[in-house]
Amino acid sequence: MPRLLFKLSPLIYKSGSVRTFSSSTTGPCTPMCMIMSPSPNGNVGEALLFNVDSCELVRSPEKAFPKELYKATLVGTSRGWGMFSNRLDRSAVISDFLNPYASKSEPKVIPLPPFTTIPTYQTEVVCNMAMSSSPEPYDKDWVVGIKFLGKQLSFCRPHLDLRWTNIPTPFESWDTSKLMYSKKDQRFNLLAPGGNYLCSWDHDFNKDKKPKFHELVLHNLPSMPHEQQQRLDSNCREDHWVESPSGESFLVKWFSEYTPEGCKVPIVMVFREEDTKDGRKNMHYTDDIGDMCIFISKSEDFCVKACSFRGLNPNSIFLNGRLFVSLNMSKFSCRLYEYPEDTPYTIPYSPYWLPPFSSY
């Protein structure tokens, strides 16, 4: 019988100095903050990242700090690129500044059109950002999609469009409902509230603005006592749709229980898409995703192969948001991460995962 409960492993403590990236690749990491320093030749800066592969705090090499980021806030990440928004002048850019291997003299900064708002909707609060591909190499059909709190989606091709195409969703979506891009289907996906339907829009959004709907039918649900089921139903829940590099699709349900002492160890349920028939996607519960690791946060979620990184355990889920933990579904264990001793005393809330980077 599938199990859902995880035992708690000791906290990870990591002491020692912050190191600078020295290898040609990194594991998945989370951005901590950006540090800017004045310089006679223009401001310079560096990104401070927590590398979950080695559980180390690492600094990117010092590089020119783009003026577009001076007063901007990181509001989303996708495919290793960050979206930064300046609330004062309403500007937004896509940049690779968080990439430790980005150009030291000229980190890439790609301006986005000013946000426009559908009447009665809002564009102040960004839930997440998704992209059809990395901006490099150059692709004129590269698409950026933004999910705002409420009902508005906005799409544009930054290399071609001077304005956003705004589309209202057919439902009021939560801040945990996130946009993601499927390379396999070439569509932008968004889970409807409740996680029972998947709504999607074509990559060519100007030709077809109507969404497609697929009902998500859950199979092989784990049995549990009635009391435990009631507790689970009372928990906070986030639903996430993730696609692996090979095109497999997963529905991840993240349950969080809050007590006066804080947030308890989370429960995660994973469903793998088996087939699609008559507008229904058949999703089967599994506690075995093989060599994959799934990374869930306010970024566009992604998967990596554990065998490619020394510090990653296969069949694991990494969560960054309400908690900063990894769940090993093979051992049914939960590991809570703590930042190393040299972490700055005050850092912004940054619940994002960045995929592995490479200098190649």
Let me know if residue 259 belongs to a domain: yes
The H-assigned helical ranges of the chain are: 226-234
Bridge partners, residue 254, by sequence = 238, 268
The pLDDT tens digits for 60-69 are: 888 999 999 9
Bridge partners, residue 277, by sequence = 280
Report yes or no: 233 and 294 within 8 Å, Cβ to Cβ. no
Let me know if residue 358 belongs to a domain: no
Please calculate the CA angle 318-261-125 and round it to the nearest 5 degrees: 55
Let me know if residue 352 belongs to a domain: no
Let me know if residue 329 belongs to a domain: yes
- Using the predicted structure, report yes or no on whether residue 11 has a pLDDT greater than 50: no
Torsion, CA 237, CA 238, CA 239, CA 242, rounded to 10? -140
Which own/partner pairs from 272-278 qualify as long-range (CB within 8 Å, at least 24 positions apart)?
272/248, 273/248, 273/249, 274/219, 276/214
- Using the predicted structure, report yes or no on whether residue 15 has a pLDDT greater than 80: no
Lowest-confidence region among 1-5, 227-231, 323-327, 334-338: 1-5
Q: Considering its fold, how many domains does the chain have in total? A: 1
Residue whose structure tokens are 């906290």 = 11
Mean pLDDT for the stretch of residues 62-82:
94
Let me know if residue 225 belongs to a domain: yes
Q: What value does the mean pLDDT of the chain take? A: 88
- What pLDDT band is residue 2 in, cutting at 50, 70 and 90? very low
Token couple for 185:
């289907």
Mean pLDDT for the stretch of residues 10-16:
43
Report yes or no: 106 and 64 within 8 Å, Cβ to Cβ. yes
- What pLDDT band is residue 232 in, cutting at 50, 70 and 90? confident
CA distance 272 to 292: 12
Bridge partners, residue 190, by sequence = 179, 199
Let me know if residue 111 belongs to a domain: yes
Let me know if residue 357 belongs to a domain: no
Tell me the pTM. Answer: 0.91
Length of the chain: 360
The predicted pLDDT at position 122 comes to 93
- What pLDDT band is residue 16 in, cutting at 50, 70 and 90? very low
Let me know if residue 31 belongs to a domain: yes
Domain residues for 261? 7-336
